Amino acid sequence: MSSTCMKGQTRNPSPRKDVEEVKHASVRLIAGVAGALALVASLVVAAAGTAGNQAQAAAKYPAPKVPNAAAIKSEYGGESITFIGDSVGGSHARDVALAKQFTKDTGIKVKVVPHPAASDASYSQLARVFASKSSSFDVAMIDVVWPGAFAPYLVDLKPKLGKEAKQHAQGIIRNDTIDGKLVAMPWFGDFGILYYRTDLLRKYGYTAPPKTWTQLFAMANKIQTGEQQANDKFYGLVFQGNSYEGLTCDALEWYQSAGAGGFIDNGKVTINNPRGVRILDQFSAQIGKVTPRDVTTYQEGEAHTAFVEGNAAFMRNWPYAYSIGQDPKSSKIVGKFSVTVLPHAAGKSVGTVGGWQLAVNKYSKHVDASIEFVRYMTSAPVQKFNAITNTNVPTIPAVAKDPAVVKANPYLKPEIASVLRVTRPARDLKTHYNEGSKAIYQGINQILNGRPASSVLPSIESKLNRILR
């Protein structure tokens, strides 16, 4: 493309005298540009100053020490590895704190690189590295729906971490075991929960959070009408409505809780069914009514920002948002909210399984040092640390029952923790999961933006059928 630009230029007749004059003019212009750039640079520096706050929250509870550190140090000390870690909320600060501790104890240097916040962008990034057989990273966090697609590019952890794997919830270990190889270790689990404002429910005469979606919409409507008189940015409900992976998770909860199935069931595409149409149209009717109109552009970050700034009565989100809501530095609603299971329609309450695993790149030049890092990061003490400082759901059941962990994570109360967990159709879509999920979230985003569900679902259905064929 650039070669065509050049052609365009050379055909412009430009006598030499003019060129000289242009040079003088451009020197002045370059000076101007430099001035403008300096201005921008100072703006960027000013914005970066606010990032350090969350690191302090983690400081109250120190990162656990690495067991057996001396032996690891003598074997792998001085090696350095790159870790593609988390970026949502305070999670990067958590990664940095743990990596620092690991380096201090073992002498293995860890470079922590946060991944893109949108998980589909993160998938692309990893796929690109694998496809080029690059060793540019050693350890990466991978989503619960990716082991099937990435398995051929990951190190089998069973020989070295098989014993540790037995401590974790076996459902996740099965998810991470592909063709007999343990390609990833569970790091933290996730499931969708409902956040609600206890103070506002009381103010508007409600004694309990909503049980059904219809109740939720009614409550959201009433609270919003009242609150908007003082705060015109206030809305009843926020969730993840953008055209991205998060919407597939949210919509799966709507579907399963309405008895409309899980998009693909027993190898058959079931997304286009009357119950599905009804629940989608029901949600679509709420857009701009009890939700902000642009909830169809919201990802997790926009949703939790609206909620912790006191601009929403209800929010669907993952457990990580709990610690942000409790942090007085970022939240205006400390002590004014609680969590419960998501509402339901014709079915039962459910939560979409999220969660992240740690995996080691097959092309890494430091496989053994990387495995030691994974061993540490997925150990019980670190899971406890993550749960208490960053409200991450432990994947080791013993840690999830620890009283200190339950105290910091109210959603681990038995009645919430026992909610039915539903999984996205990753097993059916296999290496084409991303494409299938894209068909689902793009279509549902169109429905939320005003297209009738009955006109969009057939095209999602045919796309999914084409992938499965």
Q: List residues near another protein by CB under 8 A.
A: 1-14, 18, 21-22, 25-26, 28-29, 31-33, 35-37, 39-40, 44, 118, 120, 123-124, 127-128, 130-131, 149-150, 152-153, 232-233, 242-244, 288, 292-297, 311, 431-432, 434-435, 438, 441-443, 445-446, 449-450
CA-based nearest residue to 45, from 37, 57, 33, 34: 37
Can you read off the two tokens belonging to residue 304?
């939790």
> Helix, strand, or coil here: 112?
strand
Q: Which residues contact 294 (CB under 8 A, 6 or more apart)?
A: none
Element (H, E) at 324: helix 320-326
Element (H, E) at 368: helix 367-377
Residue 143: what are its φ and ψ, rounded to 5°?
-70, 155
The span from the CA of 63 to the CA of 76, in Å, is 21
- Of 275 and 432, nearer to another protein (C-beta) is 432
- Of 259 and 288, nearer to another protein (C-beta) is 288
User: Measured from the CB of residue 430, what is the shortest distance to another protein in angstroms?
Assistant: 10
The span from the CA of 405 to the CA of 396, in Å, is 12
205, 226 Cβ separation under 8 angstroms? no
User: Measured from the CB of residue 442, what is the shortest distance to another protein in angstroms?
Assistant: 5
- Of 322 and 441, nearer to another protein (C-beta) is 441
E-only strand ranges, 119-198: 139-143, 177-178, 181-182, 185-191, 193-197
User: Measured from the CB of residue 16, what is the shortest distance to another protein in angstroms?
Assistant: 10
Can you read off the two tokens belonging to residue 72?
């690891």
User: Measured from the CB of residue 18, what is the shortest distance to another protein in angstroms?
Assistant: 5
- Of 170 and 225, nearer to another protein (C-beta) is 225
- Of 8 and 274, nearer to another protein (C-beta) is 8
User: Measured from the CB of residue 76, what is the shortest distance to another protein in angstroms?
Assistant: 30
User: Measured from the CB of residue 329, what is the shortest distance to another protein in angstroms?
Assistant: 20
User: Measured from the CB of residue 212, what is the shortest distance to another protein in angstroms?
Assistant: 26
Planar angle of CA 41, 47, 53, nearest 5 degrees: 145
- Of 131 and 208, nearer to another protein (C-beta) is 131
The span from the CA of 297 to the CA of 302, in Å, is 9
Q: What are the counts of helices (DSSP H) followed by strands (DSSP E) for the chain?
A: 23, 14
- Of 149 and 315, nearer to another protein (C-beta) is 149
- Of 14 and 136, nearer to another protein (C-beta) is 14
User: Measured from the CB of residue 225, what is the shortest distance to another protein in angstroms?
Assistant: 15
User: Measured from the CB of residue 142, what is the shortest distance to another protein in angstroms?
Assistant: 13
- Of 281 and 294, nearer to another protein (C-beta) is 294
Long-range contacts of 448-454 (CB under 8 A, 24+ apart): 448/241, 448/283, 448/284, 448/287, 448/295, 448/296, 449/287, 449/296, 450/284, 450/287, 452/281, 453/276, 453/277, 453/280, 453/281, 453/284, 454/277
